[in-house]
Structure 1
Amino acid sequence: MARSFDGSTESPASVEQIHAAFGREDYWLARLAGSDAATTTLDSLTVDADGTVTVRLTQHLGRQLLPKVVANLVPGELNLVHQETWTPDNDGQVHGQIQVSVPGGLGSCRAKTWLAPADTGSRLRFTGRVDVKIPLVGGNLEKTIGASLSENIPEVVRFTTTWVTENA
């Protein structure tokens, strides 16, 4: 059974500043350098003429990082493929699509985001769904992952705000 999550966070950085950061390789490399113990690679970064930014990352999870019950059910190494697309509209907003998938159909996550101007900078709203297809533990993992994403997305916005301030 899939689990939903949602939330919002604000930043003193403008929509334009955050969107511009998403289009820079040095931003993504800095963001990945600050990530957890898993090795994550920047596979591609494309900025289209209309300003749409598409990034693809792969998070390589070693078996030692997996909960034992999951490691016993998953053969070999586990890689999470993460893709984000950020598209500006004509109203000063940026719409995002985030997809995370696990090869082999073990699970996925999809989220929609809206980055809009706010009185003191910008506001990011997000809503998403986590689906883990591992018998017996999938529901617990969905709940844990959804809660983690609800906390981590605002943390990414805080990182981005700091990055913009230091690299503008």
Structure 2
Amino acid sequence: MARRLSYSARYEHPAETVYQALSSRQFWDDQMVEFRKLTPQSDVDKFVVDENGIDLVLVQTLPRSDLPSIASAVIKKDMVITRTEKLGPFHPEKTEGTYTAGIPAGPGSLTGVQELFPTESGSTLRRTTEVKVYVPFVNGKLEQLILVNLVDLFRGEAEFTADWIAANA
């Protein structure tokens, strides 16, 4: 059974300003520098911005020794996470996109939709995630562990984004 989570990052900045940050290669390179403080191998593998929007692939490697015991019981090597983010062309009312994350030969899937839209106080980037793990007996625990860590990731990314915009916009 899949588990779902919706997370909203609220910004004091207009949606167009947030979109411009997400459209910047420097933004992603700077974010990878921050990720490397926790995950030494964190890289932008693909970055395309064109008339179709933003198309991005991030690759991070988590050492097996850093994984929680329930995860290291299933993952027998370092965990390589490939994350794909797509956000359509900017639209002032709502910009929509998708994201996925995968682990080679991983025992599950993570998919989601995202939308960036204006609010009275700035803008919101809402991400709705679905996690499925196909390991009997521990699937629910692993799905919950992934979602808890995803909230921490999204929260950290939102703080980074707000700080980066304040310093660079």
Deviation at 1:17, TM superposition (A): 1.1
Give distance in 2, aligned partners of 1:147 and 1:70: 14
Deviation at 1:61, TM superposition (A): 1.5
Deviation at 1:135, TM superposition (A): 3.6
Partner of 1:29: 29
- Give the conservation status (yes or no) of the 8 Å contact 2:92–2:118: no
Give distance in 2, aligned partners of 1:45 and 1:75: 30
1:136 aligns with 2:156: no
- Give the conservation status (yes or no) of the 8 Å contact 1:109–1:130: yes
Q: Structure 1 counterpart of 2:44, which letter? A: L
1:61 aligns with 2:62: yes
Deviation at 1:144, TM superposition (A): 1.7
TM-score, normalising length: structure 1 = 0.88
Q: Structure 2 counterpart of 1:80, which letter? A: I
Distance change in 2, residues 1:91/1:29 (3 Å): closer
Q: 5+ residue gaps in structure 2? A: none
1:145-156 residue pairs with structure 2 within 5 A? Answer: 145-156=146-157
3-state SS in 1 of match to 2:135: coil
- Give the conservation status (yes or no) of the 8 Å contact 1:97–1:113: yes
- Give the conservation status (yes or no) of the 8 Å contact 1:5–1:147: no
Give distance in 1, aligned partners of 2:168 and 2:59: 25
Q: Deviations over 1:82-128 (max 9, x none)?
A: 00001135443221211001111422211111110111210122211
Deviation at 1:25, TM superposition (A): 1.4
Q: 2:50 aligns with which of 39, 48, 62?
A: 48
- What is the root-mean-square deviation in Å for CA atoms of aligned residues? 1.9
Give distance in 2, aligned partners of 1:148 and 1:105: 17
Q: 5+ residue gaps in structure 1? A: none
In the alignment of these two chains, the number of paired residues is: 167
Partner of 1:96: 97
1:69-84 residue pairs with structure 2 within 5 A? Answer: 69-84=70-85
Q: Which moved more, 1:120-129 or 1:71-80?
A: 71-80
Give distance in 2, aligned partners of 1:26 and 1:135: 42
TM-score, normalising length: structure 2 = 0.88
Q: Which runs of 4+ in 1 moved over 6 A?
A: none
Distance change in 2, residues 1:66/1:151 (3 Å): closer
Q: Deviations over 1:9-64 (max 9, x none)?
A: 310111111111112111011112212522211101001124x0011011112111
- Give the conservation status (yes or no) of the 8 Å contact 1:111–1:128: yes
- Give the conservation status (yes or no) of the 8 Å contact 1:11–1:158: no
